[in-house]
């Protein structure tokens, strides 16, 4: 009884202090760690405040999620979805090959090889999850279509988690899309023809390449009994909250709807430690470099292309040869390359057997980027890797593959801390040229200075954003986000754009002009009649005077 009274007193005290009631937060994402960690960083403190936090993900995530986010409950998606995901990530899958093809569109490939095969399973599973436990705030991964669709069909409000602002969410005419063939984020430096290509040719190509996959997906959705939105696929998220783990300085500045909440960059609180074998290898490298030069620290190039990227053999050959040339020239003292054992068979023997090259099946990326020896990060340009490089002020060479990677490369290149090239355009010559330019002490300083600037910005935001995002989540769960929906979203498009007003004014002006024309025509007609009448009267008077004079003459003649 005493415990019950104490609990009641504690609850009353919390209520008196204005604490929100316990709420249920649910996050749906089964696309890997980089998609999940920033949002788990926000949700874990909410669990510590006494809220219920459920993460719907794949069973593979439990190995790292459970120990690092102990307050989070997990529900696992069906194993069949996991199997498709594992096959998708293997380099031999048709999806992996299509994603490496620069002539194919990434989103169409994802729809064909992942979304459509998993959609019936995911939609049925999530319908059961949402029906059994309705969350106060549902957060759907942007690429998990079934989550938003099922929530919308059931009439649930939901938010969308995104790593950067994608096309169709907050566009402006001067912004280049992810699929632009030009390495720029905006049209600032594009000529008229290039702007025409971006504005008309690229959208036409996207529509043509995605039309059939989208039609197939919509057919599957109808069969699953969910709402289908024709046209712009982002239209279904028009009233959803978009929670973006990014920031202006990385994203191109633009007008943004209040429904787009920029909370980034949020990083994992889990700091990776440097294993003893890597420390030993770096120590040997430092001893060798100090004996041959005056440098206190060796210069190391760190190479990693993330979980989903399987680099083509030709690209690996070009990059490997360029790295060996950099080592021979003395611009770098060592190379650390993170590569899974599955992909290691593709590596050239020359780099695999080199004494100053360390190939690792898993690399502690954050610990390596924080190490003063790492002078350059060769990356695919994923959002998480980009944020981590900015946080530690490490210049990047970005070899982009698909998705947001080319645009991330363009962003960091414009920021001055990176060089970027699409992987299919990499050659032996330009790979060597780029590495030499970024590592040569005579030309490397501008990259380092720009990286330090981005580091200052990221660290300033990193210290405040996680706590603020948690408070924001708490508020949205309790009160919703109706206050962020603009009046324009609550009225017909013609009213929001004042088109009906302009139409009414135009009609009134046209009517007034028509009335003026009619009055003028009437006035002119009256004047013409008056003129004609005046002319006819004058002729009659002359005729009468003529007849009178003739009659008088005749009378005089008779009298004579």
What is the per-residue pLDDT across 376-398, written as a single tens digit (0 to 9) for each?
A: 999 999 999 999 999 999 999 99
- Give residue 93's pLDDT: 54
Closest CA to 160 of 137, 179, 178: 137
Span 173-202, average pLDDT:
91
- CA atoms of 170 and 162, how far apart (whole Å): 13
Q: Which residue has the tokens 């660290």?
A: 459
Q: H-helix or E-strand containing 489?
A: none
Segment 353-372 mean pLDDT: 91
Question: Which tens digit of pLDDT belongs to each residue from 508-548?
Answer: 999 999 999 999 999 999 888 888 877 666 665 666 566 56
Tens digit of pLDDT for each residue in 74-99?
A: 999 999 988 888 777 665 555 555 65
- DSSP assignment, residue 112? I
Task: Supply the mean pLDDT for the chain.
Answer: 86
Which whole-number Å values give the CA distances from 376 to 394, 447, 450, 538, in the listed order? Answer: 6, 10, 13, 105
Return the H-helix or E-strand segment holding 397. Answer: strand 396-400
Are 376 and 395 spatial neighbours (Cβ–Cβ below 8 Å)?
Answer: yes
| Tokens standing for residue 318 | 């070009």
Alpha helices (H) in 311-378, listed in sequence order: 313-329, 349-352, 365-370
Q: How confident is the model at residue 344 (pLDDT cuts 50, 70, 90)?
A: confident
Domain ranges in the chain are: 17-173+231-262, 276-462, 490-537
* Reported pTM: 0.82
Nearest to 30 by CA among 129, 143, 108: 143
- 276-462 sits in which CATH class? alpha beta
17-173+231-262 maps to CATH 3.40.50.2000: yes
The reply to whether 17-173+231-262 and 276-462 are identical in fold is yes
């Amino acid at each position: 009884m005493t415990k019950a009274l104490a609990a009641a007193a504690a609850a009353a005290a919390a209520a008196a202090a204005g604490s929100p009631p316990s709420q249920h937060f649910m996050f749906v994402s089964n696309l890997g760690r980089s998609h999940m960690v920033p949002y788990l960083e926000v949700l874990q403190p909410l669990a510590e405040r006494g809220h219920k936090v459920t993460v719907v993900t794949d069973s593979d995530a439990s190995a790292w999620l459970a120990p690092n986010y102990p307050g989070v409950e997990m529900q696992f998606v069906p194993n069949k979805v996991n199997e498709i995901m594992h096959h998708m990530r293997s380099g031999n899958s048709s999806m992996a090959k299509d994603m490496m093809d620069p002539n194919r569109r990434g989103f169409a490939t994802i729809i064909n090889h992942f979304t459509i095969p998993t959609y019936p399973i995911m939609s049925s599973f999530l319908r059961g999850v949402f029906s059994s436990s309705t969350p106060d705030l549902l957060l759907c991964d942007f690429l998990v279509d079934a989550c938003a669709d099922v929530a919308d069909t059931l009439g649930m409000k939901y938010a969308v988690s995104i790593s950067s602002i994608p096309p169709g969410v907050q566009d402006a005419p001067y912004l280049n899309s992810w699929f632009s063939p030009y390495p720029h984020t905006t049209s600032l430096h594009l000529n008229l023809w290039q702007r025409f290509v971006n504005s008309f040719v690229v959208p036409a190509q996207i529509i043509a390449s995605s039309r059939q996959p989208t039609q197939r997906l919509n057919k599957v959705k109808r069969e699953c009994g969910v709402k289908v939105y024709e046209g712009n696929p982002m239209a279904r998220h028009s009233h959803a909250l978009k929670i973006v783990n990014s920031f202006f300085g990385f994203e191109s500045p633009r007008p943004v709807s209040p429904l787009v909440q920029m909370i980034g960059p949020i990083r994992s609180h889990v700091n990776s430690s440097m294993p003893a074998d890597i420390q030993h290898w770096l120590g040997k490298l430092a001893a060798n470099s100090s004996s041959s030069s005056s440098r206190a620290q060796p210069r190391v190039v760190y190479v990693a292309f993330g979980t989903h990227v399987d680099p083509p053999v030709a690209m690996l050959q070009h990059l490997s040869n360029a790295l060996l040339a950099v080592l021979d020239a003395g611009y770098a003292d060592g190379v650390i390359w993170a590569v899974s054992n599955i992909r290691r068979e593709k590596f050239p023997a020359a780099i695999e057997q080199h004494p100053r090259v360390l190939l690792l099946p898993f690399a502690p990326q954050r610990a390596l980027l924080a190490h003063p020896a790492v002078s350059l990060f060769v990356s695919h340009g994923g959002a998480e890797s980009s944020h981590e490089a900015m946080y530690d002020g490490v210049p990047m060479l970005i070899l982009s593959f698909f998705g947001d990677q080319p645009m991330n490369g363009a962003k960091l290149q414009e920021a001055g801390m990176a060089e970027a090239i699409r992987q299919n355009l990499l050659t032996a010559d330009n790979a060597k040229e780029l590495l030499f330019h970024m590592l040569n002490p005579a030309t490397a300083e501008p990259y380092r200075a720009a990286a330090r600037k981005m580091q200052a910005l990221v660290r300033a935001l990193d210290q405040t954003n996680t706590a603020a995002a948690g408070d924001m989540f708490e508020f949205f769960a309790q009160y919703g986000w109706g206050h962020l929906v603009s009046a324009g979203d609550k009225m017909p498009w013609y009213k929001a754009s004042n088109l009906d007003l302009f139409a009414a004014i135009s009609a009134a002006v046209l009517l007034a002009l028509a009335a003026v024309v009619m009055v003028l025509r009437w006035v002119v007609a009256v004047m013409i009649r008056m003129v004609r009448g005046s002319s006819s009267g004058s002729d009659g008077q002359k005729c009468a005077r003529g007849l009178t004079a003739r009659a008088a003459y005749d009378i005089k003649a008779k009298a004579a």
